[in-house]
C-alpha cells in the first residue's frame, strides 16, 4: 500500500496522559499536514511541514501539542496532558508540489478518545 | 484568513436523481478547490478538484463549477447511486504557495433506493 499510513488507528487514554501519533506520508511527498476532525465537522488545520521545516501552526495547536518531522519523511504528533476536549480524529495528509499539481491525500486517521 | 461555507449540511435524494452541494469562500487569493468524499471510519478521499483558471470540470458523473467573481463553487453528482452516500467536503487553498487547505463543514448525502 503506497498511501498515507497513520498509526495507531485508535487510541484510548486517560486524561492527563501523553499520547503520540505517527504518520508516514506517500513516498517522496515533501508536504505533510495534520488536521483534527470532530464529529460532524470538517477537518481543521493544525500544522504543516515542507520537508523537515514546520511552516505554519494553527492557533488550535496549544502548547500541549507538538509535531515533528525530523528527516522530512514520517511525522509525529504528540499531545501532552490530554484533556477530554482533545478527543477527535487526527488526520494526516501529504502532497507533492509537482508543477501545478498539489493534490493532498489523506490517511485513515487516528481516533483519540480521552476518558 | 480563508473561510469556507458549505450548504446544505444534509441532503437526501432519490437514487438516479442529481445532487448539488454549494460552497462559498472568502479569500480572493484562493485558486485551488478540491472536493473530498469521506465514508464512515475513513479519511477524506479526493474525488475531483478545480483550479481558478477554469469554470467547469467534469469526470464521469461528477462535475464541479466555479464562479470566481461571486466566490462560489459547486459539486454536481448526476445519476446518483447508493455508493454515493457519504459526507462530502469542499475546500479551498492557494495553489501556488505552501498553503493549508481550508475545509467546509461537510454535507451528508443520503441516496434513497
Q: How far is B54 from chain A (nearest CA, A)?
A: 14
Contact call for residues A88 and A19 (beta carbons, < 8 A): no
Nearest to A21 by CA among A113, A115, A109, A114: A109
pLDDT at B95 over 80: no
Query: What residues are paired with A45 via a beta bridge?
Result: A35
- What number is the average pLDDT over the span B25-41? 92
Continuous segment of H or E residues that includes residue A88 = strand A88-95
B62 has a chain A CB within 8 A of its CB: no
> What residues in A contact B100, CB-CB < 8 Å?
33, 45, 48, 56, 58
pLDDT-derived band at B4, boundaries 50, 70, 90: very high
Least confident of A82-96, A100-114, B54-68: A100-114
Chain A residue whose CA is closest to B104:
A42
List b or e across A28-44, with b for residues whose CB sees 16 or more CB atoms inside 10 angstroms. Answer: ebbbbbbbbbeeeebbb
Distances in Å between the Cα of A83 and the Cα atoms of A80, A91, A97, B108 are: 9, 18, 36, 29
Q: What is the pLDDT of residues A41-84, one digit of tens each?
A: 999 999 999 999 998 888 888 899 999 999 889 999 999 999 99
Distance between CA atoms of residues A35 and A47, nearest Å:
7
Helix (H, G, I), strand (E, B) or coil at A19: strand
Which pLDDT belongs to residue B53? 82
Nearest alpha carbon to residue A114 among A91, A85, A89: A85
Q: Is A53 on the interface with B (CB under 8 A)?
A: no
CA distance A30 to A49: 8
Whether residue A108 contacts residue A21, with contact meaning beta carbons closer than 8 Å, is answered with no
Mean pLDDT of A23-34: 92
Q: Is A87 helix (H, G, I), strand (E, B) or coil?
A: coil
Give yes or no for residue B14 having a pLDDT over 70: yes
Cell of B101: 487547505
Amino acid at each position: 500500500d503506497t498511501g498515507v499510513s497513520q498509526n495507531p488507528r485508535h487510541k484510548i487514554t486517560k486524561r492527563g496522559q501523553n499520547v503520540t501519533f505517527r504518520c508516514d506520508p506517500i513516498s517522496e511527498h515533501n508536504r505533510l499536514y495534520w488536521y483534527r476532525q470532530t464529529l460532524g465537522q470538517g477537518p481543521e488545520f493544525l500544522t504543516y511541514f515542507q520537508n523537515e521545516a514546520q511552516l505554519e501552526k494553527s492557533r488550535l495547536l496549544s502548547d500541549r501539542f507538538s509535531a515533528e518531522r525530523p528527516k522530512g519523511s514520517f511525522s509525529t504528533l504528540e499531545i501532552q496532558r490530554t484533556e477530554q476536549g482533545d478527543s477527535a480524529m487526527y488526520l494526516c495528509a501529504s502532497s507533492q508540489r509537482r508543477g501545478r499539481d498539489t493534490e493532498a491525500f489523506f490517511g485513515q486517521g487516528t481516533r483519540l478518545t480521552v476518558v | 484568513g480563508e473561510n469556507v461555507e458549505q450548504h446544505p449540511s444534509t441532503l437526501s435524494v432519490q437514487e438516479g436523481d442529481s445532487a448539488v452541494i454549494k460552497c462559498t469562500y472568502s479569500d480572493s487569493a484562493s485558486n485551488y478547490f478540491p472536493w473530498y468524499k469521506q465514508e464512515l471510519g475513513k479519511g477524506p478521499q479526493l474525488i475531483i478538484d478545480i483550479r481558478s483558471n477554469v469554470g467547469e470540470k467534469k469526470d464521469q458523473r461528477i462535475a464541479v463549477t466555479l464562479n470566481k467573481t461571486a466566490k462560489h463553487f459547486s459539486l454536481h453528482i448526476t445519476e446518483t447511486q447508493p455508493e454515493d452516500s457519504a459526507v462530502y467536503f469542499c475546500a479551498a487553498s492557494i495553489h501556488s504557495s505552501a498553503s493549508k487547505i481550508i475545509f467546509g463543514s461537510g454535507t451528508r448525502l443520503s441516496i434513497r433506493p
